[in-house]
Amino acid sequence: MTKTSVTAIRLTRTREVEKVLKVARKRYPALNDPEIFKLALSRLVREADRDESMAELQATASQAVGFDYLSDPEEDIYHLGIGKKVNI
């Protein structure tokens, strides 16, 4: 028989935490508090992954064309006012 250990996160329910939980309960009435925390943590991880992906994309682009080119506002055609702006 194998034992599985459960890792617990202890959180002090301050006024701010209760306030956030109250809003989250309205948005997700079917979820209990632990499920709301899991959802919140998963969103934080997803955001961190997105930020890392964006940083990696910017690093790759700067290596491809040169960081000086990407950060030079004079290379932006809209900055110079010569690009045609389209309203959809």
Whether 9 is covered by a domain: the verdict is no
Tokens linked to 15: 């006024």
Token look-up 């599985």 returns 4
**Overall number of domains in the chain:** 1
Whether 7 is covered by a domain: the verdict is no
The pLDDT score that the predictor gives to residue 2 is: 66
Tokens linked to 28: 């997700």
Is residue 62 within 8 Å of 70, Cβ to Cβ? yes
Whether 33 is covered by a domain: the verdict is yes
Whether 52 is covered by a domain: the verdict is yes
Whether 42 is covered by a domain: the verdict is yes
pLDDT tens per residue across span 9-20: 787 889 988 998
pLDDT tens per residue across span 40-50: 888 888 887 78
Question: The pTM is what?
Answer: 0.49
The pLDDT score that the predictor gives to residue 22 is: 92
Q: Residue 26: which pLDDT band, with cuts at 50, 70 and 90?
A: very high
Non-local CB neighbours of 73 within 8 Å, separated by 6+ positions: 79
Higher-confidence residue: 60 or 66?
A: 60
Whether 2 is covered by a domain: the verdict is no
Q: Which domain holds residue 58?
A: 15-80
Whether 62 is covered by a domain: the verdict is yes
